[in-house]
Amino acid sequence: MEIRIRHFLYFLICVTLLASCSGFERVRKSSDVNYKLTKANEYFDKKHYVHANELYKELMPVMKSTRNYEAIFYKYAYTFYYTKDYLDASYYFKNFTEYFPSSKDAEECEFMSAVCLFKYAPKYSLDQTNSIKALEALQSYTNRYPNSKRMAEANSYIDQSKSKLEMKQSGAAKLYYNINQYKAATVAYKSVMRNFPESPNNDLYQYMIMRSMYKYAKASIADKQEERYANAISAYTELKDTYPNSKYLNEASKLYSEATNKVKKIRDEQHK
């Protein structure tokens, strides 16, 4: 009995889907533009965005010089967004602002174009070209509309984009350190601090600069060690002065003591 019910439900679903598809095909093949537009809007309102997208795509060139074109363009962009095709959605939202700069929806579409770039950007460990594009678009939006009701949301996306870029760069710096490329690690951590001056992790980066310099000095030839240990000592002083409450100070102070002793030993040997 239960199997029969399942088969019957499956049959009903198949019939419904076939009826839906055949109904859509009739709409799509119709030469009545107004009828097709009405059905496209119905599909959109019912959240059948794939069907709506296909109909709007056919209507766009036909309706270009009509009063309906702006509304079609607007909904067409959203069909891409709702189907998670963020790259195309960003493109059409951006184009909307260019075609209809005076529209009441222009601000919203500029914002959505930037949001789509943000959503399209991959996780931080992958290439962050699209995160950079998203950040630029979001900052452009906030500069253009400083009093927007979407400002808090835009700033949240900006912070998240910056965080991904920071994680990408700091990860690269850590990799240099882990493979014993201490000079490159020093340069990379300095770059992270320069690019993200307000990061809450800057005391960690300064500590890693000091640590990289210490390791670099330790691995250097004798003639270079004094100068390079001195650089590590300077980096420690900067850490202590700039971040007096850093949790990394205890570990850094041990390296500082070792570096100081190394310099003292080198100088003592030079004066023998």
Tokens of 230: 């001195």
Tokens of 65: 């010089």
- What pLDDT sits at residue 125? 57
Q: Which residues of the chain have pLDDT under 70?
A: 1-22, 122-127, 271-272
Tokens of 97: 């602002």
- What pLDDT sits at residue 26? 86
CA-wise closest residue to 226 among 263, 268, 173: 263
Q: Tell me the residue length of the chain.
A: 272
> CB neighbours (10 Å) of residue 106?
17
Interatomic CA distance for residues 218 and 213, integer angstroms: 9
- Distance between terminal CA atoms of the chain? 101
Q: Which residues contact 115 (CB under 8 A, 6 or more apart)?
A: 138, 157
In tens, the pLDDT along 222-259 reads 889 889 999 999 999 999 999 999 999 999 999 999 99
Handedness of CA 48, 53, 54, 56 (dihedral sign): positive
- What pLDDT sits at residue 122? 67
Q: Which residues contact 28 (CB under 8 A, 6 or more apart)?
A: 36, 54, 55, 58
> Under a CB-based contact definition with an 8 Å cutoff, are residues 53 and 75 in contact?
no
Interatomic CA distance for residues 180 and 103, integer angstroms: 57
- What pLDDT sits at residue 118? 92
Interatomic CA distance for residues 192 and 197, integer angstroms: 8
- What pLDDT sits at residue 222? 85
Taking only Cα atoms into account, the Rg of the chain, rounded to an integer number of angstroms, comes to 30
- What pLDDT sits at residue 100? 96
| Long-range contacts at 2-6 (CB < 8 A, ≥ 24 apart) | none
Instruction: Quickly list DSSP for 51-104.
Output: HHHHHHHHHHHHSTTSTTHHHHHHHHHHHHHHTT-HHHHHHHHHHHHHH-TTST
Interatomic CA distance for residues 272 and 265, integer angstroms: 11
- Output b/e per residue, 112-124; b: 16+ Cβ within 10 A: bbbbbbbbbbeeb
